Amino acid sequence: MTDDSATPGLFDALEAPIEASSVSTQKKTTKRGTKAAEPKAAAPKAAAAPAPRKRRSAEDMAATQREISVSEFFTKNRHLLGFDSPLKALLTTVKEAVDNSMDACEEAGILPEISVEISAAEEENRFRVCVEDNGPGIVREQVGKIFGKLLYGSKFHKLSQTRGQQGIGIAAAGMYGQLTTGKSVRVVSRPGKRAKATEFLLSIDTAKNKPEIHHEATVEWEHGHGTRVEIEMEAKYQKGLRSVDMYLKQTAIANPHLTLHFTDPGGEQVTYERNTKEMPPETVEIKPHPHGVELGRLIAMLKSTQSRSLSAFLQDEFSRVGAKVAKDIVTKAAAAKTGQTLTVKSYPSRIAREEATALHKAINETKISNPSTDCIAPIGEDLVLAGLKKEIEADFYAASTRPPAVYRGNPFQIEVGIAYGKPGGVGLEVTDEGRIRKKATSRDVVEDLVAGADEPIRVLRFANRVPLLHQQSACAVTKGVILTNWKSYGLTQPRGALPIGPMAVLIHIASVWVPFTSESKEAIASYPEILKEIRLALQDCGRKLGTYIRKGKRLKREFDKRNYIEKYIPHIGIALQEILDLTNVERDGTVETLEDVLHKSRKF
Ligand SMILES: Nc1ncnc2c1ncn2[C@@H]1O[C@H](COP(=O)(O)OP(=O)(O)OP(=O)(O)O)[C@@H](O)[C@H]1O
């Protein structure tokens, strides 16, 4: 195919009068003794000289420079928060609301019961998302700020294991709804039996990042306490691996103490009943570990602390620092040329930048015990297994919870569960009578969560019990699975890829601060310490899986051999009858006897 658009330009150039610059080129060529220049394709006509650029003074520029509110920023960059398509926006909204409900219930010590309802709105491509919980509710004064102001929350400034971290989530969902439909968010909240439920209609003033409450009234509400959020938005509802349905199902797996009701836009209802009444253990909030603090943060902390001496500052603001460790740090820092004037009594806010640098270096050179780990609550091997068994029918399950570890001063813990073998697949079992038979299955539906025998395994990623459905390939969890050698556990694995087989692997990272790669909290950063722990947990489960697969292969070989021999038993029977010249009565039992001998033999 030719590019016609190029042609006129070329002819124009050939017909154009020779410009000064091309004449000089000809002269040069002749000088060097080469053939006299034939008329060459001349350069296109020189464009008219561009108008001189208008110069702008610093004052002119200053007139256009102004503050950007965080809401304006995220309105333009909503993809950063997980609102980059109508499909994903729906999932992100449900996720933010359900995660908040779970956090609130757990913080209040209430067994969570949550209802999610998605219904089609009047206008096309619009849905209404309603999430209701039996949590502690929200006091009246806070409702506006929580739902109508970005970067407002209770979790950002503390180090504790919660689903939410940033204080953006639910307000961003409301803002997305407002942006795409112009409608306000409806909130009903009742902070306890003695209080009345209040209904609010509110939106966010994006230029000021402030809530605007349009309506507030007390209403009757059948629940003793809790919160209901309703957001209408442009969205798309679709089932599949990255759907709301999948997020809710995986949430039920990782949160066995949750009862969850879901009504989809078609009116179909599903309830995930809790299978334990045990709440996850209460976790404690911790102070930052000194080894995780960066220089800039240390300087800011020195400025803002209430402590009146350097020793007190180190002990009050950080975990695992006692008087002795504080003294060691200060002595080391003072020994450095730049930190000469430092003593344990130095006044923190008067410490100069060079001294702070020496202090930071000394902190990292001092041996300090790892942070305490009572701030982390893993799901636990038993409940990982129970969760998998409840929602995924498979032939084999295994789980492994690693001891806590630390990245950048933040404690974390990894746990892994696997479900292997699709019901109705190759699963075989030995009956009480010693017969090998195909395993029976109670479900005829092919389970989405276990991959097909010739597909890459399904990786179910969780961070603080929240399923992560997007950005799988950018996530440390996926990297950990790929870096594990699954061939030694009986699975095939293409180079640099996920293993192949009928398996789902659940990987959970519990941490006081999950290192997400972006604000949309979809993938976990690949810190070497995290990758190492993921691989160790996978290897532990892999070893158990390997034993099972080897046993399964042996059973399969036995099963095939038996089938083969069974095929010939009638012929052997006839031959035996003839050789032994048996009577008719004796003849009748020959085949049964041979079959019996075969099945009782454990060798075949
Ligand atoms: N259903 C609820 N019940 C009680 N409190 C809630 C509820 N939803 C939100 N909150 C409170 O509102 C705060 C802000 O919630 P938001 O979703 O904006 O941020 P977050 O959960 O703190 O962090 P992230 O942005 O990572 O989700 C929470 O920290 C919590 O204190």
Q: Is the pLDDT of residue 426 over 90?
A: no
Q: Which domains does the chain have, with CATH numbers?
A: 74-272 (3.30.565.10), 290-365 (1.10.8.50), 381-548 (3.30.230.10), 552-600 (no CATH)
| Residues linked to residue 216 through DSSP beta bridges, in sequence order | 200
User: What is the atom index within ligand 1 of the atom nearest the CA of 170?
Assistant: 17
Cα 435–Cα 436–Cα 440 angle in degrees, nearest 5: 110
Q: How far is the CA of 167 from the centre of ligand 1 (A)?
A: 6
Q: Which of 358, 289, 363 is nearest to 326 (CA)?
A: 363
Question: Which residue has the CA at smallest separation from atom 7 of ligand 1?
Answer: 100
Q: Are strands 503-511 and 410-420 parallel, antiparallel or unpaired?
A: antiparallel
Q: pLDDT band at residue 45, thresholds of 50, 70 and 90?
A: low
Please give the distance of CA 174 from its chain centroid, rounded to a whole number: 22
The rounded distance, in Å, linking the Cα atoms of 435 and 414 is: 40
Report pTM: 0.76
* Ligand 1: centre distance to CA 292 (Å): 26
Mean pLDDT within 112-120: 98
Centroid of ligand 1 to alpha carbon of 529 (angstroms): 29
Mutating to test ligand 1, I would choose from 170, 209, 466, 511 the residue with most ligand atoms within 8 A of its C-beta, which is 170
pLDDT of res. 105: 96
Ligand 1 surroundings by CB, under 6 angstroms: 96, 100-101, 104, 133, 135, 138, 146, 153-155, 164-171, 227
Pocket test for ligand 1, best of 83, 100, 185, 514 (most atoms within 8 A of CB): 100
* Ligand 1, atom 13: closest residue by C-alpha: 153
**Above 90 in pLDDT, residue 589?**
no
Q: Give the annotated binding-site residues for ATP.
A: 100, 133, 154-155, 164-171, 521
pLDDT averaged over every residue in the chain: 84
Q: Which atom of ligand 1 is nearest to the CA of 521?
A: 26
pLDDT higher than threshold 60 for residue 32:
no
Return the higher-pLDDT residue of 40 and 78: 78
User: What residue owns the CA closest to ligand 1's atom 28?
Assistant: 153
Residue nearest to atom 8 of ligand 1 (CA): 100
> Which residue, by CA, sits nearest to atom 31 of ligand 1?
154
Give the residue, 377 or 215, on which the prediction is more confident: 215
Q: Is the pLDDT of residue 44 over 70?
A: no
Nearest CA to ligand 1 atom 1: 101
**Type of residue numbered 373:** T
Atom from ligand 1 closest to the CA of residue 167: 19
Residue 40 in contact with residue 22, Cβ under 8 Å? yes
Interatomic CA distance for residues 44 and 47, integer angstroms: 8
- The Cα–Cα gap between 181 and 125 comes to 10
Atom 22 of ligand 1, residue of closest alpha carbon: 167
Cα(146) to ligand 1 centroid in Å equals 7
Instruction: Give yes or no for a contact between 239 and 173, defined as CB atoms under 8 angstroms apart.
Output: no
Which of 118-132, 257-271, 329-343 is the least confident region? 329-343
Separation of CA 562 and ligand 1 centre (Å): 61
Outline where 353-412 has alpha helix (H): 353-365, 381-391
- Which helix H or strand E contains 328, and what residues bound it? helix 323-335
| Residue 349: per-residue pLDDT | 92
Ligand 1 centroid–CA 317 distance in Å is 25
Which pLDDT belongs to residue 42?
A: 53
CA of 11 relative to ligand 1 center, distance in Å:
67
Please name which of 503, 457, 510, 452 lies closest in space to residue 482, comparing C-alpha atoms: 457
Q: Is the per-residue pLDDT at 20 higher than 50?
A: no
Q: How distant, in Å, are the alpha carbons of 106, 201, 257 from that of 114?
A: 12, 21, 11
Nearest-angstrom CA–CA distance, 327 and 366: 10
Assign residue 488 a region: left if phi > 0, alpha if psi is -120 to 50, beta otherwise? alpha
Structure confidence at residue 572 (pLDDT): 78
Query: Binding site, residues?
Result: 100, 133, 154-155, 164-171, 521
Q: Distance from the CA of 148 to the center of ligand 1, in angstroms?
A: 12
Burial readout 415-437 (b: 16 or more C-beta within 10 A, e: otherwise): bbbbbbbbbebbbbeeeeeeebe
Substitution candidate for ligand 1 out of 132, 134, 146, 190 with most atoms within 8 A of CB: 146
Judged against a pLDDT cut of 80, whether residue 553 lies above it is answered with no
**Which amino acid belongs to residue 230?**
E
